[in-house]
Amino acid sequence: MILPFLLTLGAGLATGIGSAVAFFAKHTNKRLLSFSLGLSGGVMVYVSFVELFAQADAALSEVWTGRMGQFLTVAAFFAGILLIGIIDRIVPSVENPHEAHRVEEMKRRPHNPKLMRMGLVTALAIAIHNFPEGIATFTAAMDNRTLGVAIAVAIAIHNIPEGIAVSVPVFYATGSRKKAFLLSLLSGLAEPVGALLAWAVLMPFMTPTLMGCVLAGVAGIMVFISIDELLPAAREYGEAHTAIYGVVSGMALMAVSLLMLK
């Protein structure tokens, strides 16, 4: 479990990269960020439908005869979407953790203590979102390390703007880069916590049926994240076509990588 856990930890700590970008970059490279988010979304969508869903369907069809295996695959896929959708509804919508922020905002320094609440709620919201992402990365890596690496990289890319989203309001509130960086980093630690929970709760009871359902559920979670978070954020940071180029490039990159590694 060491490699899957390290992959999950690295993906979660990418929020700290977002903080570092906010503190040390002079200007936001909107086209690069938009392309990167689109790339991450393309990787996650391709992996979800081409690999995870297909593997889940194959695993469940071996255990369950007739159409029952296909039914379980589809049910688990939408159960994953439902899970992340419920979490998304629980998170306060006023302090949207996926609202695009730019590093230029760090130059404005009207430090306002009232903004601390926004930073804390944003950090909590991102931590809640990161929890199922940690489960997704860990379980995928346990089943297939190549997929685990791809998913970890994709989630790490999408965690970078989340780090900016936490750092900006906390810096406004406190004037402390250190506090903003640490709070951003802590919000990303929810992902390895999710990985540990998956290992402690799921692994002792793991069967081919449960693994198939988990893989299908992970596919649903990642599709929702891509559609609800990554692609809208990519369009907001840059031009629409830049985001689409990123999506297509992410799919192509993942397709070539999987063909070469099989």
pLDDT at position 114, please?
58
In the chain, domain spans = 2-261
Buried b (16+ CB within 10 A) or exposed e, 233-258: bbbbbbeeebbbbbbebbbeebeebb
At 233-262, the pLDDT tens digits run 777 766 678 888 989 998 998 888 777 765
pLDDT at position 27, please?
64
pLDDT at position 73, please?
95
pLDDT at position 96, please?
47
- The answer to pTM > 0.85 is no
Distance CA 260, CA 144 (A): 15
At 37-80, the pLDDT tens digits run 888 888 889 888 988 899 899 989 998 887 899 999 999 999 99
pLDDT at position 94, please?
47
Point out the residues of the chain with pLDDT beneath 70: 22, 25-29, 91-122, 125, 169, 237-239, 261-262
